[in-house]
Amino acid sequence: MTFTLRSRLGEFTVEPLDVPAHAADLHAWITHPRSVFWGMPTADLAAVRREYERLDADPHHHCWLGRLDGVPLFLTETYQPAQSELAAHYPVRDGDVGMHVLVAPPAATEPPRHGLTSAVLRTVMEFIFADDRHLRVVVEPDVRNTAIAARNAEAGFVVEREIQLSDKVARLSFCTRADYAASLIGRENR
């Protein structure tokens, strides 16, 4: 299964993550200083591979590789909040889907691409909402991650409250289909 979205930056695709084929990319992305909120800044390649093999084996958690014009660019994860630590923090509804997203850090020789992170988030949201069963996206970013908080707001996420998870204080936030459609990022795709 591959999802495709065309944008002014090119063609974005989302496909199931092939852990052995992309472990080196994941390692480089997750251990980059910009990715500190993923909690694995000093992990070696074997540790990253083990973690994503574990997630890949979990029937309630799915990992996806995103590409731009065929080049690996981002990781996104979807999960069932009812089967996660979040279930203890809010009343999970039918149609809720959890989401994480990580955009690869730019190469030192690569010029910045304005709007890239927003375009990735648009792709991820369109991918998730392409499944009619998904009615609301749930995220729980670290409260210190102000960059993703700004992008989430652009996509229509509404912060409900801060919660203490096992590894962080998080902003529990929700985005319905209507919230997304009315958002800055959602309107750009219409």
CATH of the domain at 61: 3.40.630.30
Token pair, residue 154, equals: 């652009």
Q: What pTM value is reported for the model?
A: 0.95
Please, what are the averages of pLDDT over each run of 10 residues along the chain (190 residues)? Answer: 92 97 96 91 95 96 97 97 97 97 81 86 98 98 95 97 96 98 85
Domain tally for the chain?
Answer: 1
Mean model confidence pLDDT for the chain = 94
Domain that includes residue 14, residue range: 3-188
> What pLDDT sits at residue 107?
72
**Residue 108's pLDDT is what?**
61
